[in-house]
């Protein structure tokens, strides 16, 4: 009986220590993310490192077609068939998906910034990260397709 009680006490202490570690990690992680969250809350989205990235995939008809295929499969449900942010699944998200067919993008409009948002997702939005599911070369094709939705955007 004593052995059972001491094991129970040991497990309870171990569980409490684990909970404390998780809480401390969450608090530290929250402190690190506050500047970015504040940045997003203010509508300011600067991604200087991403802006420096150059698109290694030429914007050819083949690349745009490959990007459209990915867009239709992965993005249209939220961003809509023409990128207006009016997809059926997107209507359930808060905030609503961005209109990616216009020229004003909150996360930056360079190829690198678009690539980074697709790869890493966007904090405090429904935009999830696709970097683990879509190879980088295919994300660049997607960037080229997104660019074709609004010919006014600049690289």
Whether 13 and 67 map to the same domain: the answer is: no
Whether 17 and 86 map to the same domain: the answer is: no
Is the C-alpha dihedral spanning 73, 79, 80, 83 positive or negative?
negative
Whether 9 and 70 map to the same domain: the answer is: no
Within a domain: 110: yes
Within a domain: 103: yes
Whether 39 and 73 map to the same domain: the answer is: no
The residue whose two tokens read 């961003």 is 79
The band of 2, judged by pLDDT with boundaries at 50, 70 and 90, is: low
Whether 88 and 140 map to the same domain: the answer is: yes
Within a domain: 56: yes
Whether 114 and 40 map to the same domain: the answer is: no
Whether 67 and 136 map to the same domain: the answer is: yes
* Average pLDDT over all residues of the chain: 77
Whether 87 and 17 map to the same domain: the answer is: no
Close Cβ partners of 85 (under 8 Å, ≥ 6 residues apart) = 78, 79, 96, 97, 98, 99, 100
pLDDT digits (tens, 9 = 90+) for 50-109: 889 999 999 999 999 999 999 999 999 999 999 999 999 999 999 999 888 887 777 778
Whole-number Å distance between alpha carbons of 29 and 26: 5
Within a domain: 141: yes
Within a domain: 155: no
User: Number of H helices and number of E strands within the chain?
Assistant: 6, 0
Whether 33 and 94 map to the same domain: the answer is: no
Whether 143 and 119 map to the same domain: the answer is: yes
**Other beta carbons less than 10 A from residue 83's beta carbon:** 22
Whether 27 and 57 map to the same domain: the answer is: no
**Other beta carbons less than 10 A from residue 23's beta carbon:** 10
Whole-number Å distance between alpha carbons of 7 and 25: 27
Query: Domains in the chain: how many in total?
Result: 2
* Verdict on whether the full-model pTM lies above 0.75: no
CATH number at 54 reads 1.10.760.10
- Please determine, for residue 25, whether its predicted confidence score (pLDDT) is greater than 80: no
User: Residue 88 belongs to what domain range?
Assistant: 48-149
């Amino acid at each position: 009986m004593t052995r059972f009680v001491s094991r129970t006490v040991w497990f309870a202490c171990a569980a409490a220590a684990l909970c404390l570690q998780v809480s401390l990690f969450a608090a530290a992680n929250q402190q690190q993310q506050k500047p970015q969250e504040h940045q997003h809350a203010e509508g300011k989205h600067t991604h200087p490192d991403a802006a420096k990235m150059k698109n290694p995939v030429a914007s050819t008809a083949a690349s745009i077609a490959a990007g459209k295929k990915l867009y239709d499969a992965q993005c249209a449900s939220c961003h809509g068939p023409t990128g207006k942010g009016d997809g059926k699944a997107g209507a359930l998200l808060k905030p609503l998906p961005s209109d990616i067919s216009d020229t004003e993008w909150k996360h930056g409009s360079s190829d690198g910034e678009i690539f980074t948002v697709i790869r890493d997702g966007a904090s405090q939005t429904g935009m999830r990260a696709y970097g683990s599911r879509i190879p980088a070369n295919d994300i660049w094709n997607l960037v080229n397709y997104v660019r074709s939705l609004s010919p006014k955007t600049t690289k």
